Amino acid sequence: MQESATKAFYGFEPKSRLFLGTAQYPSPAILADAVRASGVEVVTVSLRREAGEGGAGEAFWSLVKHLGVRVLPNTAGCHGVKEAVTTAQMAREVFGTNWIKLEVIGEDDTLQPDVVGLIEAARLLSADGFEVFPYTTEDIVVGGRLLDAGCEVLMPWGAPIGSGRGLNNPYGLRTMRQHFPDIPLVVDAGIGLPSHAAHAMELGYDGILLNTAVAKAGDPALMAKAFAAAIEAGRQAYEAQPIEARDMAAPSTPVMGKAFLS
């Protein structure tokens, strides 16, 4: 089976299926090394990071521009519709892009999305010309409402942000993939190991967005490279049409013609 192209994200077709966050790295130099090692073309940036005191935000923005990657601003930390919409509008002014990763957090311990507020914020931002990447759950009803609100991408979580648990609900993620076969889907949050990312890609997902698993690794650049390789391996496995799991053994060696001892 010939490898298929990455689905377009609002007309943009990246070669890399990895989206990388830019927070929590030990230093800007280590962040730059990780971005280069991974080959990513899109990084997420928080408006709060850009607005840091003492010129840190300006220096960070200069670094990102020097890396030559596309920026996906996010509304991280927003807990309400008005806050998220206002943050998105400010991000558009700062970063000069209509792209926005929309987060509306509904619960502090799990950082689970407030899907009601998320849908409303997505509707308002889409009407205002934004191209919205919504951080959502794997609920297909919510996914449908987000598409109706104007989103052309869905970003269901794998597990709570920063937890490193992998895919808490593979069934739900598989169902979402089957229900929206033509929509770009990216697993966002909770990925801790390259094997987790490969699993998501084997389900047919179009990309992985992660941050903590790379930023907090002992060697972020090497981990970023490992994730990039795992994502491509998982995608190739999906396209190769893997065998179905079964409960009983199936001999790989033919039994016809085998010797019988009397």
212 carries a ligand binding annotation:
yes
* pLDDT confidence band for 46 (50 / 70 / 90): confident
pLDDT in tens, 164-196: 999 999 999 999 999 999 999 999 999 999 999
Would you list the domain boundaries of the chain? 18-240
Residue 60, C-beta contacts closer than 8 angstroms, at least 6 positions apart: 22, 28, 45, 49, 50, 52
Calculate the alpha carbon distances from 148 to 123, 176, 180, 247 in Å.
Answer: 8, 16, 13, 41
Query: Per the residue annotation, which of 15, 82, 101, 216 is the catalytic one?
Result: 101
Q: How far apart are CA 192 and CA 36, in angstroms?
A: 20
Q: How far apart are CA 83 and CA 109, in angstroms?
A: 20
Q: What's the confidence (pLDDT) of residue 31? A: 94
Per the CB < 8 A criterion, the answer to whether 169 and 198 are in contact is: no
Q: What pTM does this model have?
A: 0.88
Per the CB < 8 A criterion, the answer to whether 220 and 194 are in contact is: no
Bigger pLDDT: 255 vs 138: 138
Q: How far apart are CA 107 and CA 40, in angstroms?
A: 30
Helix (H) or strand (E) segment spanning residue 210: strand 207-210
204 carries a ligand binding annotation:
no
Q: How far apart are CA 208 and CA 230, in angstroms?
A: 11
**Helices and strands in the chain: count of H runs, count of E runs:** 10, 8
Whether 50 has a pLDDT exceeding 60, the answer reads no
pLDDT in tens, 204-258: 999 999 999 999 999 999 999 999 999 999 999 999 998 888 888 877 776 666 6
Residues for the chain: how many in total? Answer: 262
* pLDDT confidence band for 63 (50 / 70 / 90): confident
Q: What's the confidence (pLDDT) of residue 2? A: 41
Catalytic site includes residue 101 = yes
pLDDT in tens, 91-109: 999 889 999 999 999 988 8
189 carries a ligand binding annotation:
yes
Pick the CATH number of 18-240 from 3.90.420.10, 3.20.20.70, 3.40.630.30, 3.30.70.270: 3.20.20.70
